[in-house]
Structure 1
Amino acid sequence: MVRKQTRRTFLKKVMGSFLTVLGLSSGGYYYANRIEPSLLELNELEIKHPLIPKGLEGLRIIQFSDTHLGFQYDLSQLKKLVTKINQLKPDIILFTGDLMDEPNKYTKLNDLVPILTKLHAPLGKYCIFGNHDHGGYGSEIYRNIMESTNFKVLLNQSVKIELKDGSSFFLVGIDDAMLGNPDLPLALKNVPNNHFNLLLSHAPDLAETAAQYPIHWQLSGHSHGGQVKLPILGALIMPPFAQRYPEGLYKIEGKYSLNLYVNRGIGTTRLPFRFMAKPELTIFILRSSSFT
């Protein structure tokens, strides 16, 4: 299991990162603060596995993550994101945590609900808790918002996604690693061994633990792709539980073989910058075949 890091230690690192950012030129500062945070990147990947039934061939899943509403990201931007997601015609929508930066201080909850309600996916909308969803006594605020907008909150539990022809797979969600209590055995309790399953974990570094269980793919967020990356120095903001796997696709070898994908998220936190870490929407296409 990955060791926990205190909030104070993390904030000290963030402050050091902030001082580094101040060293950017004025043009770099403007780009990182105003331009790159709005440069949404669409990434498309195939999820291949022999346990994926042929009936699920071509099924489209969209993952978005880490909007952090109330910090730098606002509702007008969220409206545009919802429109973009719907235009991509997903069969399933997944949100992998950190909806609001500080849930108990967010004042536009009533305006937020109708926007998220407009997200449409015929096979459902599902979400998990991130650390900011728990932070600031926000757990019930987050849960109420997501459930009222027709998201199914997966808290150490699974759900069977099934088509009319009987083709199915299991979606598994665990609690956040920093401020929650992730419980993989409990989440997998009703998942049979002969079905493809997809794990949602806000924290990517839990993949090494997940690889000790019969899990095929894990989708995560939390890292923001480092949020600010500089030549030589690399990523400046690497939160706890997102230090080993900051972005993109990884193959994790454990008792079982696991594919991990880490989404860079949409918004920002701690520092109002993105540099060399564009916000991301990920489109996954299910394929019934062997790993390549």
Structure 2
Amino acid sequence: MVWTIVMIITVIVLVFGTFYMTHAVSRFGLIRKIGRGKKRRRSLLSLMILVAGFCLVYVFTTLLNAIVIYLHFLGYFLIFGFLMRLIRRFTGKTFKVYWQGHLAIIASLLTLGAGYYLCTNIWETDYNLTTNQLDGNVKIAFFADSHLGATFDGKGFARELRKIEAAKPDILLIAGDFVDDFTTKEDMLTACRALGESDFPLGVWYAYGNHDTGYYTGKEFSNEELKSALEDNGVHVMKDACELVDGRFYVAGRLDDSLSPRKDMQELLEGIDRDKYVVVIDHQPNDYDAEADSEADLVVSGHTHGGQMIPFTKAGEWTGAYERAYGYERRKNTDFLVTSGIADWVLLFKTGTKSEYVIVNVTGN
């Protein structure tokens, strides 16, 4: 429902925004010169430039990226147009230079350039937690939302995995959306082999995300092929399951909420030793109350992409799509962590966050 509303609003904005942008672009000096004072000719030329630019981005990236780029230009043209009107109104000044257009283009390019850099480069984010439930210490690495093929392919994933290994964590958790509908079978297999060749003393543990099983037809590999490739490379595939690790703590992997019905927290953790530390992998951060009321000590999630883009970074929280867009929260005796993801789905820009993997240092007794 939320996505339907978003798409309807986006289409409306694109249609009416195009009328505005056609007028705004026609005010550039070069367009005026070519148009030779004829308004219709300038408007037609402006529209052709807008359509050509949109199509060019679409061809070299995706439709969604083309829309995002277009909306950024539209937004900045509106902002600087409003500011220039205010300046003219309160100062009475007029300008020979078309500042609205020039500033809008500069601001758009800077914002999108920064967004591309934040999306396609990956940082390490560290958290330090303490507990009385754990015998000794454990260093946990986790990531989510690799969406293989979006910002890096299988070989690129292997390079990023080596960076995570360099931090020498004891265990690696994958919090869903390892692949999506657009991931090739070759990239999936290459990434799985990289996991199999990695060195995490307590293993690699994976739980499903909403994209892993796919939404569309034409996916190059089946769900069983993904599961087999992971397990053949030593990855623990957790599908509403809980296992004791190293005799000291539990790892529980929840079935993604989109694949419900799934076990509730009481079912999932039934029969565990309540004196031991419990880590839960739950792709979507939308069941905090139940998890805080359970025996879970730490819940790691992804899905939100950190809120993705300004000004929508908190939109998911406001609409109730999930409980937290990014970062750390503690409820009752449970720590919750949401990562912005190590990559992205289709989009090549993150302006409200950055791509990351997470290192959690848990200090016990």
TM-score of the aligned structures, taking structure 2 as reference length: 0.67
In structure 2, the partner of 1:42 is 124
Structure 1 residues 13 and 106: CA distance shift in structure 2, 3 A: farther
Letter in 1 for 2:206: C
Which one of 108, 111, 114 corresponds to residue 190 of structure 2?
A: 111
Match of 1:176 among 256, 267, 270: 256
Q: Distance in 2 between matches of 1:240 and 1:83?
A: 37
Q: Relative to 1, partners in 2 of residues 1:108 and 1:77: Cα closer, same or farther, differing over 3 Å?
A: closer
Query: In 1, distance between residues paired with 2:10 and 2:260?
Result: 22
Q: Secondary structure at the match of 2:296?
A: coil
Q: Evaluate the alpha carbon distance shift between residue 239 and residue 146 of structure 1 in structure 2; reply closer, same or farther with a 3 A threshold.
A: farther
Higher relative contact order (CA closer than 8 Å, sequence separation 6+):
1
| Residue number among 66, 82, 90 corresponding to 2:161 in the alignment | 82
Partner SS state of residue 131, structure 1: coil
The verdict on how the C-alpha distance between 1:110 and 1:192 changes in structure 2, with shifts beyond 3 A counting, is: closer
Amino acid at match of 2:328: L
Cross-structure match for 2:345 = 269
Shift of 1:198: 1.1
Aligned residue for 1:205, secondary structure, equals coil
Aligned twin of 1:217 = 298
* Preserved contact between residue 313 and residue 352 of structure 2 (Cα < 8 Å): no
**Is this contact kept in 2: 1:117–1:150, CA < 8 A?**
yes
- The one-character-per-residue Cα deviations of 1:81-129 (angstroms, maximum 9, x if unpaired) are 1110111111111110101121676553343332222222111110100
- Alpha-carbon distance in structure 2 between the residues aligned to 1:105 and 1:280: 23
Which structure has greater helix proportion?
Answer: 2
TM-score of the aligned structures, taking structure 1 as reference length: 0.82
**1:197–1:111: structure 2 CA closer, same or farther, 3 Å change rule?**
closer
The answer on whether the counterparts of 2:147 and 2:183 sit within 8 Å (CA) in structure 1 is no
Asked if structure 1 preserves the Cα contact closer than 8 Å seen for 2:188 and 2:226, the reply is no
- Structure having the higher strand fraction is 1
Q: Which amino acid aligns with 1:149?
A: N
Aligned to 2:334: 258
The partner residue of 1:91 within 170, 174, 179 is: 170
2:205 aligned counterpart, secondary structure: strand
Query: Is the 1:156–1:186 contact (alpha carbons within 8 Å) kept by the matching residues of 2?
Result: no
CA separation in 2, counterparts of 1:192 and 1:172?
A: 13
What's the C-alpha RMSD, in Å, of the aligned pairs?
2.8
Structure 1: runs of 5+ lacking an equivalent = none
**What is residue 115 of structure 2 aligned with on the other side?**
32
1:156 has 2:240 as partner: yes
Report matched runs for 1:221-232 at 5 Å: 221-230=302-311
Distance change >3 Å, CA 106–CA 7, structure 1 → 2: farther
Aligned counterpart in structure 1 of residue 328 of structure 2, from 249, 269, 273: 249
Q: Percent identity?
A: 21
The 1:104/1:248 distance shift into structure 2, 3 A limit, reads closer
Q: Is the 2:252–2:280 contact (alpha carbons within 8 Å) kept by the matching residues of 1?
A: yes
Larger Rg: 2
